[in-house]
Chain A
Amino acid sequence: MGLLPAPVERLAEEFARFPGIGPKTAQRLAFHAASRVPPAVLDGLAAAITATAATVTPCPVCFFLSDEGQLCAVCRQPTRDRQLICVVEEPGDVLAIERTGEFRGLYHVLGAALSPLDGVGPNDLHCQELLDRVAAGGVKEVILATDSDLEGEATATYLLRRLEGLDVQVTRLAHGLPMGGELAYADERTVARAFSGRRQA
């Protein structure tokens, strides 16, 4: 329409790319930023975004979010049990499990679940890196904590087959997550119970 200053239009377009934000909400956020937020606060937001883009990278070992190519905060903790690896789909799942305090091992973030329909095959996930970590030795147990929907189950089955030849115990979270449930949205007690009830896969 060209009625708005170009930066405001741009901002609305960029907001609309985020999950859960439609064009109307995006426009409202952009208007809000342009008319209600003091310039200093906007500068702070811009700086946070720039810093995220410039410095946040996946952890080279587990692919959780980390700073500039360094090990992530979990991998860096000396008290972690390095014989346990918990495999999850998304970084958000790591936070969900950490909230329970049930798990003291390391993680492996796949990035997604298998979904050939959406063009996501094993090579699009960090599967090989997981196999390499296990093959390098020192890992006693791999806990498959992918979601309990069809795609999460299939991903767990795939990894189980690939891990079979290696000298490691493979377990799967106990059912109890709601059918089709996403780990990241389950409550703490449910996640904790799924963890303590994990069994041989």
Chain B
Amino acid sequence: MELRLLNFRSYPEAAVRLLPGANLLVGPNGAGKTSLLEGLSTLALTRAPRGGVTTDLVAWGSQEMGVSATVQAGGEEGREMVLELRWRFQPPSRRWVRTLRVDGNPQPVARYLGRLRVVSFWPEDLLIVKAGPEPRRRMLDVVLCQLFPAYAISLSRLRRALEQRNSVLRAVRDGAAKDQELEPWTGPLVEAAAAIMEAREGYLEEATPLAAAAALRIGEPTPLSLVYKPGIDDPEGGSWAERMTRALDRSRAEEVARAQTVVGPHRDDFEICLGGRAARQFASQGQQRTAVLALKAAEVAQHLSHGGEAPVLLLDDVLSELDLSHRAGLVQELAGGMGVEQSLVTATEDHGLGEVVRLSQVLEVRRGRVAPRGGG
């Protein structure tokens, strides 16, 4: 695979050849290692991979950012395709406009997602067990958008419907709009919410045995499970659309008072449990780390079982954060347990990684320059 960056973070321009197998990126702090991983995952997800505003990734002062890669196309062996993501600032509207291309042809996001898949492991993911719900929701969204492009459409419709609906709620609260002006936004909100909640519930159900098996391999005998906690307060059951509709009806007074839609997938969460107990409350440091590794292994397994492209595994700085036994567990997964065919690993030093995993290459990163070690 060749990855190309244009005005992305600290890279004015860069082209990096990535080999199949494990690619280790080493270099001092601030050299641009993480930025390369962010570039590849932005290309896969079409947006900032770690939350925040995508245009923060644009090199300071630039009006245009691009990431592209030549990757293996699905289906025939040896066929390649070029994926390209571009963000451009449009002065008249003062807006950033995104374009996606496959082999030079513009594509809507639903026809683009899933062609390049990544499973990434950022340093902050180690805190995911104890963090607030936002990074856990993002973790679900990242994998589901790549598995099911229709999910990405539902997600953007949900965001838009919430924004519009909350504007009406504000106007209703201030006496500037009538209740009946809410309805046009409630229908699409319910539709998008139901699709998202169904997908999230299904994913967590399927991921539980996969994550439990991985945890066992890493050395955690207590059974791990993932429990969906939908952001609607409705004990009556039925379809997600029915539950969402009832929850909205019930919360009307509160949503008007707060000028915010207070129920829905934007309030979703899931609980990571060990032996049926919330890991957030009871798990040890080491057990929490095992749980995170297991969640990542489950993500990889889901990509493979849904018949897609094998994901590229991105490990940012996590080796230094792990103790020896977890590092060994991760390395084992890397070396084959997960079924990953290509990985990018960043580190400030190589941590003896080359002794346990066969490295395809070591890339040295220095102030925006990337070159293979020992090579020309």
- A residues near B (Cβ < 8 Å) are 16, 18-24, 114-117, 121-122, 150-151, 153-155, 157-158, 161, 178-179
* One of A16, A116, A117, A153 near B181 (C-beta < 8 A): A116
Return chain B residues, CB-CB under 8 Å to A161.
Answer: 180, 183-184
Residue of B nearest to A155 (CB): B184
- Out of A23, A24, A150, A157, name the residue touching B160 (CB < 8 Å): A150
> B228 to chain A: closest CB distance in Å?
26
Selected from A19, A23, A24, A154, the residue in CB contact (under 8 A) with B188 is A154
Is the contact region of chain B dominated by helix, strand, or loop, or is it mixed? helix
Contacts A116-B168, A117-B164, A121-B177 given; indicate if A157 touches B184 (C-beta within 8 A). Answer: yes
CB-based contact A179/B92 at 8 Å: no
- Distance of A115 Cα from B153 Cα, bound (Å): 19
| Chain A residue with the shortest CB-CB distance to B184 | A154
4 smallest A-B Cβ distances: which pairs? A154-B184, A116-B167, A22-B91, A157-B184
Chain B residues, CB < 8 A from A114 = 164, 184
Q: Are A179 and B153 in contact (CB under 8 A)?
A: yes
In the assembled complex, which residues on chain B have CB atoms less than 8 Å from the CB atom of A22? 90-92
Q: In the complex the two chains form, what is the Cα distance from A121 to B185 in whole Å?
A: 12
Listed by A's residue number, 11 A-B pairs whose Cβ atoms lie within 8 Å are A19-B92, A20-B92, A21-B92, A22-B92, A23-B91, A116-B164, A116-B167, A150-B161, A154-B184, A155-B184, A179-B108
Are A117 and B167 also in contact (CB < 8 A) when A22-B92, A150-B160 are?
Answer: yes
Contact with A along B144-156 (1 / 0, CB 8 A): 0000000001000
B74 beta carbon closer than 8 Å to chain A: no
Q: How far is the CB of B138 from chain A (nearest CB, A)?
A: 22
Tell me the minimal C-beta distance from B281 to chain A in angstroms. Answer: 39
What 7 new A-B contacts, CB under 8 Å, besides A16-B92, A116-B177, A179-B153? A22-B90, A22-B91, A116-B185, A117-B167, A121-B171, A121-B181, A161-B183
